[in-house]
Every structure is written in C-alpha cells, then in structure tokens.
Structure 1
Amino acid sequence: LFAICASVYWVGFINVFSAMVVLGRKAFTQLNKMTVRRVQLCVWTPALLIAILCLVFDVIRPSGAWCFIGSDYGVLRLLVLYVSVLLVFFMSVGLGTLSLKHIRGLSTSGVFTRMPVPMLTQAHMLLCSVAYVIVWLPVALQRVLEFSEKMRYGSDYEYSNATLSALSRITCNSRGILDYLAYVGLRWLGRQRGKRANRNRVKTQSSLESRPKTLV
C-alpha cells in the first residue's frame, strides 16, 4: 500500500503545476512568487513524509550505489525508485512539449514581445527531462529485469547483464555532459534566432523607408 501511494504521488502531484501552466490561458500573466512557493510546499511536504515513512518502516538497507531500499523489499524498490520516477519524467516531457506549443501560441497572439527568452527556457526544461529519461532508463530497465528474474527463479538468483550494466554506468556518468550540451545548443539556437529576427527587422524597416511618401 505504501509503495502504491508513493508511486501515485510522484506520478500525479509533481505534474499538477505543469498541467495548470499548460492548460491555463492566464497562467503566465498571473503567476507570482507566492503561488510558486505554495505549489513547492504542497509538492515537497508529502515527499518529506514519504522519506520519513521509509525510516519508520525500516526499509533502508545497504543495497548498492543505485538505491537505498533493501533487496528484501523488491516491489517497493521497483515502484518508488524506478518505475514512478520514469513515469514522472515521461509525463514531464509530454507536458513540456504542450507548454512549448502553448508559448508559441502566445507569441503569435502578441502576448510576448520577446519570444526567444521564454521559448529557450521552456526548451531547456524539456531537454533536461529528456536527458534524465535517457540517463535513468537503462538503470530502471536493469532493475525491472532483475526483479522479474528473481521472481521467476527465486531471491537467491544472481542476475547480471553486462550490456545494461555498462550502458547504465555510461549514462549515469554523462548526465552533466548532456545538460551542458543542451544548454550550449539552446544558447546557440537563441543567438541564431535573434540574428534572424534582427535581419528581418532591418529588411522591414528599409522596405518601409524606401516606399514613396504620399502627400496629404
């Protein structure tokens, strides 16, 4: 029951604020710091309670570098640390894509006068979620396969997959590199868009100045 509640929490409530931003038309204009702090409080208070419950139920064991829940609690480890985390970031990617489209719609309607700033910010948030999915997917897949094999052959069965193990180590050690590449790529894209916008502005201004003036 605890594992199910924790998984539902991580999958659902972390993305409520993102969904409100995506679906609300006036969310970008009415958002203030107090609202953000309240949402953060509502999100991280249950997270703290879940961490305290882990201590109360005494499920923390020395179980390796990738998790803190002992191997005796396989279902809890799988749901809380791997499956739910992946679902959260998959939902973040989907909501980030919708939010990016929403910002583009606001830019075309004239709400934003300087489009590259919110566009690049949202794109960077989206790419960070994509990078986390890339990093965490091999580790989670390895844990799922390990759990299924132990359920099939018994808890004493030693599961090993050299390919997934190597891929997990590579992806986990490359998280910072992926974030850096996303940041540099988006900054370069923003400069290119800014230069293109300036060229279009200059062309428009020159074409207006070249038109013959009519006397009234």
Structure 2
Amino acid sequence: MSQSAQDPEATAFLVRLAAGDLDAAVGPALEYEAELRRLFAQDRSNRRLSDPYVGLVDVFACDPAVLDTQSRPTTNDKEHIFPLKPSERRASGTPALATSLAEFQRNWSIFTEGALSQLDWSNIVVAGGAVQACLAPLPEGADDSKKGLRKRFHESDAYAGSDIDLFLYGLDQAKAEKKIEHIFEAIRDAVPWDVTAVRTAHAVSIHYPL
C-alpha cells in the first residue's frame, strides 16, 4: 500500500506527527479510533468500514523521518513515576521502528523460529508484544546477527515471555473452528517438537518447547 493509498486519517496523523507535537498527533487519532469502535459495534454496514485498512497506518510507506524518535524534555522527569535512565533513552532523530518491511520480516522469522511459516494468513491478524518486539529498533552497537537476535528475543527480560497473539476476523463459528485447526496443523508441521493445544472460554493456546 503506497502512501497515496493511506487511509485519509492515517495521512492526517502522519502530517500531525511530522509537526513534532506527539499529543497533538495522538489525540485526534484516539478520537477516530473510538468512532470506528462505535461503528463496528452499532453500524457494521457503514461504508467507512468497507475499507479493510481503515484505521491503520502503513508505517513502511511513509517518510521514515516522520517516525524518528522525538525525545521528551528531561526537565519534566519529576512528572514521571519511572523516568528512563540516560543510557536507556533513544536520542532524538534515531529510528523509532525497524527501518523497512524486510527488516521487520527478518526479525519476525527469527522471533517465531519459523513456527508460522506454513500459515495461511487470510482472516488472521497478529498483534501484541511479539509484533512490538520485531518492530523495535536495535540499540546502537547491538549484535544484529541471527544469533544475537535470538538471544535478544528469547533470553532478554523484555521479550523472553512474550506470546504470539493471533486474532481471527470475518468468520462465522464453523469457519473459525476450521481456521483454528489449520493454525494448529500449520504450527505442528513447522516445528520439530510435540505441540499441545489448550482451549479455554475465550482463546485457544498452542504450546511447544522453545
């Protein structure tokens, strides 16, 4: 999806973000999200929901400089309960995200160890800490080899306990159950370990050793 094909609100968000005021950029975006949630709950046939990308920002199709780190002033640290140490703060102007889709996909392949490589991604969205881990830029001087990334993803306190959260959409109950079976079989076929599925009231958890 090119920048010209961005959702109009996504384009407006990027323009506001480029101006440098994060609060001014995020406030209207949260209001827009609340309106979309209301429509999904009360007016599913609304034409605004016909766009499958509504409410999304294609972060790899915009000017990378827009997504650079904008460090907040340290003079207001007293207003923060857990201010970051200087060594943990990214400098203004450094990347705030992985710099390309290819970099994200490489991180994703290493993070998941190929467990989802056999998956048919139709009607599936992945979200949560796993995505954040793969989007996050590496600290300056960090080991970006595959071995280094594995250590970062699987042994660091930040990511070692991260789940991979998959969400289904656009399916009735019968099709959703078939999709869950497909996900289980795809993971079972992709990893060299025994795979266990546990179903609860609101989720199916798939476990395997790593």
Name the structure with the higher strand share.
Answer: 2
Same fold (TM over 0.5): no
Higher RCO by CA contacts (8 Å cutoff, separation 6 or greater): 1
- TM-score, length-normalised on structure 1? 0.32
- TM-score, length-normalised on structure 2? 0.33
Asked which structure has the greater CA Rg, the reply is 1
